[in-house]
């Protein structure tokens, strides 16, 4: 490792991770609704 | 027009076809024999046969000239994948070698690309050759024969061994084996629909009748590809193979091309769906990358590589491999598939219509008794039956064979049955057909007395009998006698016996030429009682079929009573009966309702059988029809999947899609299971490819919009695609869950779209996560800083990033198959075959090894990945598998099943 973990950009990382997790939650929510909604 | 050599008066000539056929049609028999150096006894020797084969060729129709191996090899390189790789090789050669500074010149990348092109092309060629050869071998197992007379001896020979100059005999149900001139014929009707499209049979005779306009109108010529509908004939072969009329049409047109099945259309629709995605994606990615990264050449190559990645170029090969593998396995189980696309229909079949004789029963029709009107065993009845069976020249069915062998067996004990073939000579015959359901022969004894003997279905014989022989007296037919006959027939039928009646009349006509109109005023003399016991394996096989969701319906020409008895013996519950006369009286709509309620259809004509099959198909069923007789041909053609046996008449074999080498329902069950396995593996590949390609679209769009560099080099993208395609060759060998095989599987394109939408985004989420971890964590840690920082090694940053996604992509694509291949929990409840496990591991192994391979790694723009990446990879893949399993279960909950 050429730099330490503390030198990483954790701020933007967290924001984008939040976006990805948000997309995941949204996607799963849609799947759950579709799966459990009465046809 | 092609021409063939003829030999007139010992000197070889070349005739045009028109002249050759006209000559054959208009010559007298003697001229004809001289022309073709043969005689009424056929070709005289094996040397003569060889000489003819040498001169006129083999009787094989080559529908389209097979391309030579070199051309086939070259053609396996013609696809978008190769083209893009070659463009990449050229660009790479120019930038890395031609334009590069002295000392930095390197052609390694170009060489690697060329190797990839060679490997993928050769691989495709080998796979396709292997599939083609295996299918050819399988189709050779089913042989059609024809009766030929050579040196006065009649024998059955394979169709392709017939030569010009052979004398051939035809009976009902035969295929006309070559183009022939008729030498003698009796009520000989052929269907020329394969040639002329006309459905109505035409009569052929030895003499040239009327004023024919075209060759096919010439009454004394019959053509290869026609089938004998009724009667019998002897003929001389005048053209074989590609010199025949059919051969010339077939070699020049696409006559041999099969119409696209629902399955073909389904596969096409998948291809087009992906192509449509590509058409939207490629320009979008090109523009976004071009404007954001300002390297239009790389953006262009990347866009094209995405296009190649999305093009399902391996789909046809994988589908062919799956089908060929299915055909081979079915072949081992004695099921020969004539057209591999019908494998899918085999798996989709939910109703099996079958003939009774030989399928449910043993096909060993034994003559149990020969009774007079009073129900007493009478050898006179057998003698008449023998003369009829022995002298009729049509197809000798099991009943005829049984009558002949029984008579010969009894002739030692009863002298009246001995030497009948010497005591009587044949005068004429009126062949069998399915509308009359009877046949007649006219014989003459030593004293010159002629006698017409007719045998056939009881009702049909009663219809032409004005008299009955009661004791020694011939009495006019009366209601009493008719009642007595019918009650005796019913009593035997209820016990499972098949009955045919025999009638005769003396000195039937003053002129020695007979026709159907002479079958009248006959004297009913008795009946023949046959028994065809059910097979021991039938009950078990029927239960198996039911277990696999295939409902059996019996369609027979026999009486309902006989069939009902067989139903009882094999344990098939009788749901309802429809008779031929009911079917004939129904319009299409009421028949469509009727066929659902019944599982026994008796006293059916061939056309009735076809109507029942069509009605079932109209109701949405995938219908299989199993039969081996001439009367089964229309139904075999009408069914989604026609099944016949190797011993069937030519016309039935020709109409069928699948040939069983053993006439056994249990063999059929094996075939159905194999059909479903093949389908399962194919749909697995299609769904997996479609959904991961769809997922990649999201990943690449996000990368194009947000990343300052390409997420993967065009070459890396293509390499990824190639390794993945390689790993897919194991799919045809994968296991299929037992539960999946229980239900008929019908192609349903609608499930593919929703599967893509459901499963595709799951892989995108992990691609995005990989981008995030690589961009913000791993690349800065090992390239010495963030992207754009002055101290950061940008080249290493990009190489690490691209390698990280390359490996993650390969791992997720290779493992998703294990998630979606079964409804069950992967690894624990359902395991893939070792071939597929090995292929997946190899694909991931190669992807991981490449960045660590000196020389190759740099040329491909890859960099060795640090250990911390693999911790992320393991976690990400485990999470991905969990998410994919969750998505799969939710999908299953909504739609019932995954595949």
Interface test with chain B among A11, A19, A21, A24, by most B beta carbons within 10 Å: A24
pLDDT at B19: 76
Instruction: Determine, for residues A35 and B883 on separate chains, whether the beta-carbon distance falls below 8 Å.
Output: no
Is A27 touching B (CB cutoff 8 A)?
yes
B289/chain A closest Cα distance in angstroms: 21
Q: Which residue on chain B is closest to A18 by alpha carbon?
A: B769
Instruction: Determine, for residues B781 and A24 on separate chains, whether the beta-carbon distance falls below 8 Å.
Output: no
Check: CB of residue B73 under 8 Å from CB of residue B125.
yes
pLDDT single digits (tens) B213-257:
667 778 888 988 788 877 788 999 998 888 888 777 666 544 444
Question: Known catalytic residue: B725?
Answer: no
Inter-chain contacts counted by CB atoms under 8 A, chains A and B: 59
Among the partner residues B768, B782, B887, nearest to A2 by beta-carbon distance: B782
pLDDT single digits (tens) B13-49:
334 467 778 888 888 888 888 888 888 888 888 898 9
Check: CB of residue B707 under 8 Å from CB of residue B779.
no
pLDDT at B5: 34
pLDDT single digits (tens) B479-495:
999 998 888 888 888 88
CA B617 – CA B750 distance, rounded (Å) = 20
A26/chain B closest Cα distance in angstroms: 11
Instruction: Determine, for residues B893 and A20 on separate chains, whether the beta-carbon distance falls below 8 Å.
Output: no
A33/chain B closest Cα distance in angstroms: 9
pLDDT single digits (tens) B499-536:
999 999 987 765 666 777 888 899 999 999 988 777 77
Q: Which of B719, B756, B735 is nearest to B117 (CA)?
A: B719
Contact residues, chain B, for A16 at CB < 8 Å: 772, 776
Instruction: Determine, for residues A23 and B768 on separate chains, whether the beta-carbon distance falls below 8 Å.
Output: yes
Among the partner residues A13, A27, A39, nearest to B776 by beta-carbon distance: A13
**Residue of B355, B378, B608, B767 marked active site:** B355
User: Locate tokens 């995954």: which residue?
Assistant: B898
Kindly give the parts of chain B with pLDDT less than 50.
1-16, 253-258
pLDDT at B254: 44
Among the partner residues A8, A28, A32, nearest to B776 by beta-carbon distance: A8
Instruction: Determine, for residues B772 and A16 on separate chains, whether the beta-carbon distance falls below 8 Å.
Output: yes
Non-local (6+) Cβ contacts of B571 within 8 A are B539, B542, B543
Tokens encoding B192: 């020329």
pLDDT single digits (tens) B696-731:
877 888 888 889 988 988 888 888 888 888 888 888
CA B547 – CA B66 distance, rounded (Å) = 44
What is the predicted ipTM? 0.96
Instruction: Determine, for residues A31 and B780 on separate chains, whether the beta-carbon distance falls below 8 Å.
Output: no
Contact residues, chain B, for A27 at CB < 8 Å: 761-762, 765
SS3 content of chain A, % helix, strand, coil (to 5): 75, 0, 25
Is A25 touching B (CB cutoff 8 A)?
no
User: Considering the entire predicted model, what is its pTM?
Assistant: 0.76
Q: Which three-class secondary structure string do you get for B214-281?
A: CHHHCCCEECCCCEEEEEEEEEEEEECHHHCHHHHHHHHCCCCCCCCCHHHHHHHHHHHHHHHHHHHH
Interface test with chain B among A22, A28, A38, by most B beta carbons within 10 Å: A28
pLDDT at B517: 82
Check: CB of residue B212 under 8 Å from CB of residue B203.
no
pLDDT at B236: 93
Angle at Cα B486 formed by Cα B482 and Cα B492, nearest 5°? 150
Helix (H) or strand (E) holding B829: none
If pLDDT is split at 50, 70 and 90, which confidence band does A26 have? very high
β-sheet bridge partners, residue B353:
B553, B625
pLDDT single digits (tens) B280-292:
878 888 898 888 8
pLDDT at B13: 37
CA B878 – CA B870 distance, rounded (Å) = 12
Contact residues, chain A, for B781 at CB < 8 Å: 1-3, 5, 8
Q: Which of B581, B612, B608, B609 is nearest to B594 (CA)?
A: B612
A18/chain B closest Cα distance in angstroms: 11
């Amino acid at each position: 490792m050429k730099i330490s973990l503390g030198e990483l950009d954790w701020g933007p990382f967290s924001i984008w991770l939040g976006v990805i997790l948000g997309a995941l939650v949204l996607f799963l929510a849609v799947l759950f609704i579709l799966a459990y909604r009465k046809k | 027009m092609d021409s063939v050599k003829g030999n007139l008066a010992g000197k070889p000539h070349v005739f045009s076809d028109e002249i050759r056929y006209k000559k054959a049609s208009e010559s007298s028999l003697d001229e004809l024999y001289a022309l073709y150096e043969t005689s009424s006894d056929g070709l005289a020797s094996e040397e003569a046969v060889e000489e003819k084969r040498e001169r006129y060729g083999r009787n094989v129709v080559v529908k389209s000239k097979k391309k030579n191996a070199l051309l086939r090899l070259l053609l396996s390189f013609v696809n978008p994948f190769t083209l893009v790789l070659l463009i990449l090789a050229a660009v790479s050669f120019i930038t890395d070698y031609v334009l590069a500074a002295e000392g930095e010149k390197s052609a390694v990348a170009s060489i690697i690309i060329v190797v990839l092109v060679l490997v993928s092309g050769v691989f495709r060629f080998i796979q396709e050759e292997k599939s083609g050869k295996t299918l050819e071998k399988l189709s050779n197992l089913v042989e059609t024969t024809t009766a030929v007379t050579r040196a006065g001896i009649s024998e059955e020979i394979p169709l392709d061994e017939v030569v010009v100059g052979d004398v051939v005999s035809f009976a009902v149900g035969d295929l006309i084996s070559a183009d022939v001139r008729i030498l003698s014929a009796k009520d000989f009707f052929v269907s020329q629909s394969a040639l002329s499209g006309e459905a109505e049979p035409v009569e052929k005779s030895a003499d040239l009748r009327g004023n024919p306009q075209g060759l096919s109108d010439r009454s004394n010529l019959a053509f290869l590809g026609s089938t004998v509908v009724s009667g019998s004939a002897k003929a001389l072969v005048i053209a074989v193979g590609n010199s025949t009329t059919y051969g010339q049409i077939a070699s020049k047109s696409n006559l041999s091309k099969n119409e696209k099945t629902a399955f073909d259309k389904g596969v096409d629709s998948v291809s087009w769906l992906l192509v449509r995605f590509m058409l939207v994606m490629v320009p979008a990615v090109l523009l976004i990358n071009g404007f954001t990264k300002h390297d239009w050449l790389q953006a262009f190559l990347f866009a094209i590589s995405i296009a190649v990645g999305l093009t399902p170029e391996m789909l046809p090969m994988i589908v062919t491999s799956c089908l060929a593998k299915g055909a081979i396995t079915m072949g081992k189980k004695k099921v020969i598939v004539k057209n591999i696309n019908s494998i899918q229909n085999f798996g989709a079949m939910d109703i099996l219509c079958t003939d009774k004789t030989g399928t449910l029963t043993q096909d060993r029709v034994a003559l149990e008794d020969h009774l007079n009107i009073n129900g007493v065993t009478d050898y006179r009845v057998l003698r008449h039956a023998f003369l009829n069976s022995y002298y009729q020249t049509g197809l000798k069915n099991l009943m005829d064979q049984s009558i002949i062998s029984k008579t010969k067996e009894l002739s030692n004990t009863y002298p009246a049955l001995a030497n009948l073939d010497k005591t009587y000579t044949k005068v004429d015959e009126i062949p069998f057909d399915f509308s009359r359901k009877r046949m007649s022969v006219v014989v003459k004894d030593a004293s010159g007395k002629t006698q017409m003997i007719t045998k056939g279905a009881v009702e049909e014989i009663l219809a032409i009998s004005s008299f009955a022989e009661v004791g020694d007296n011939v009495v006019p037919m009366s209601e009493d006698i008719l009642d007595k006959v019918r009650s005796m027939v019913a009593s035997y039928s209820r016990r499972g016996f098949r009955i045919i009646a025999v009638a005769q009349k003396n000195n039937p006509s003053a002129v020695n030429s007979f026709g159907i109109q002479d079958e009248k005023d006959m004297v009913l003399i008795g009946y023949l009682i046959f028994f065809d016991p059910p097979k021991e394996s039938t009950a078990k096989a029927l239960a198996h079929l039911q277990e696999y969701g295939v409902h059996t319906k019996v369609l027979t020409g026999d009486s309902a009573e006989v069939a009902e008895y067989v139903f009882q013996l094999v344990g098939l519950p009788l749901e309802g009966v429809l008779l031929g006369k009911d079917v004939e009286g129904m319009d299409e709509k009421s028949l469509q309702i009727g066929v659902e309620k019944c599982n026994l259809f008796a006293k059916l004509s061939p056309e009735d059988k076809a109507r029942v099959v069509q009605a079932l198909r109209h109701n949405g069923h995938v219908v299989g029809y199993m039969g081996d007789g001439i009367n089964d041909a229309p139904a075999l053609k009408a069914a989604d999947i026609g099944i016949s046996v190797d011993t069937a008449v030519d016309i039935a074999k020709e109409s069928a899609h699948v040939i069983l080498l053993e006439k056994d329902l249990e063999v059929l069950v094996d075939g159905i299971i194999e059909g479903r396995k093949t389908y399962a593996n194919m749909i697995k590949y299609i769904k997996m490819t479609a959904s991961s390609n769809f997922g990649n679209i999201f990943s690449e769009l996000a990368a194009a919009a947000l990343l300052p560099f390409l997420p993967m080099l065009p070459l890396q993208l293509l390499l990824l695609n190639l390794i993945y395609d390689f790993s897919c060759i194991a799919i045809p060998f994968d296991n299929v869950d037992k539960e999946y095989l229980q239900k008929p599987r019908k192609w349903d394109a609608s499930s593919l779209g929703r599967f893509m939408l459901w499963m595709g985004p799951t892989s995108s989420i992990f691609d995005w996560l990989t981008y995030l971890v690589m961009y913000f964590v791993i690349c800065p840690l090992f390239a010495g800083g963030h992207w754009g920082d002055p101290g950061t090694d940008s080249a290493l940053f990009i190489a690490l990033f691209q390698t990280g996604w390359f490996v993650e992509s390969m791992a997720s694509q290779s493992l998703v198959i294990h998630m979606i291949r079964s409804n069950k929990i992967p690894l624990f409840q359902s395991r893939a075959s070792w071939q597929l496990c090995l292929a997946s591991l190899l694909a991931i192994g190669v992807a991981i090894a490449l960045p660590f391979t000196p020389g190759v790694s740099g040329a491909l723009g890859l960099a060795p990945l640090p250990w911390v990446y693999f911790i992320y990879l393991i976690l990400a893949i485990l999470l991905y598998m969990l998410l994919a399993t969750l998505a799969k279960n939710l999908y299953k909950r909504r739609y019932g099943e995954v595949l």
